[in-house]
Amino acid sequence: MMRKMLMFLPIIGLVASLLSGCEDRNELEDLALVMGIGIDKTEDQQIQVSLQFFLPQGSGQSGGSQTQSKGAGGANQSFIATESGETISDAVNKIAKRMSRRIYFSHNAVVIIAKKMARRHLNQVIDYCQRTREIRQRTLLFITDESMPKILSYQSVLEKTSSISLMKGEEKHLNLITTIHDVLLMRTRPNQPMALPMIKIREDSYDPRQQVTKIVGSVLFANQKMVGMMNPERTMGLLMSNGEFRNNTFTFKPKGNKGRLSINIQDIQLRAVPTINHGRWQLSIHLSGNGILQENTTVLNPLNARDRRRIEQQTEAYLASLITKGFKQSQHVGSDVYMTYEVFERSYPRECQRAREHWATVYPNIHLSVHPQIQLLHSGASNS
């Protein structure tokens, strides 16, 4: 009997060790949860990193001299720690030495990159994010001119942290959305074209204590260098052309009329038709969708069939101009963010393979034509 018990002792010990838990487990009280990362460059060319940490209500700060932000509804649940170093890792390591808890990146929502840092060193930021296992590829990327501690600690009225506010704002799909995964895919394309949203802090004109982040357009890159900026309206045209547009309200002045039209565009369907004829590259974009007239300060009567068609035509012309102007701008700076190479490659793989190495000279010469068709819905009553 004693011999049988001795045989089972190793098994009992193994089970006991399994039930005791894992040695590398992550307990919440041992972690400093990073919600946002800001990366800037100092005047002496060092890398400055600001980390936004989630601060549970009732918890004390654990990192020394940090900045805590407060919103209108009480304490904003975050604090910012900033350090400078020779590299991003060096700066993060200096922050880690100040913290009583282990820095944990798995909950990080956004990476905000200073414009002067992104101008020539975007690849360094992406490389760090790719090598840091805890940073997820769905993390959102932004460019800004603001100082990192300021934009990370701005007062978010509705959300617990500014990073959560940025993330939820992008979830509405009203602006350009670019993740680390998107950038990694863009780097595989000819000339590595990229488009990242540009943000800044906007203060409420009626209450300067209230602040929000505002998308002010998109920043264009080619070959890992910043080459230009695109305004918000043309960025919407870019989203339409790439099939990433959901809905948005456009306000514009129709040609030959006083006043403005505000029309919500939705249900956009896209068909891109590439052709190569005697060495001439042409791309035709056919758009169809619905429009809801939300406001009309013109003399056009949407209940009149002729005026209704004029409203539709003016809307189509406006959308076509957004896409065309944005496309020409991207051609001028050599950033194929409209993904025309992929469109042509599906129909002309051999020609694209030959043109891949000198795509920078092919792309600016592609002729674009846009053919939108918008059907007006819910036109409302007459203005008369």
pLDDT on residue 158: 60
- Residue 65 is predicted with a pLDDT of 40
Q: What is the pLDDT of residues 332-372, one digit of tens each?
A: 999 999 999 999 999 999 999 999 999 999 999 999 999 99
Nearest to 320 by CA among 369, 273, 257: 369
> Is pLDDT of 138 > 50?
yes
Helix (H) or strand (E) holding 92: helix 88-98
**Highest-confidence segment of 44-48, 154-158, 160-164:** 44-48
Q: How far apart are CA 77 and CA 75, in angstroms?
A: 6
The vertex-315 CA angle with 312 and 321, nearest 5°, equals 140
Average pLDDT in the 150-155 region? Answer: 76
User: Can you give the pTM of this predicted structure?
Assistant: 0.81
> What average pLDDT does the segment 126-137 reach?
93
pLDDT in tens, 199-210: 887 766 555 555
Mean pLDDT of 284-304: 93
pLDDT digits (tens, 9 = 90+) for 203-251: 665 555 555 667 788 999 998 889 999 999 999 999 999 888 888 899 9
Q: Does pLDDT of 64 surpass 50?
A: no
Number of CB atoms found within 10 A of residue 170's CB: 20
CB 317 within 8 A of CB 374: no
Q: Is the pLDDT of residue 22 over 90?
A: no
At 275 the pLDDT is 97
**pLDDT in the model for residue 54:** 85
**Averaged pLDDT for residues 69-87:** 71
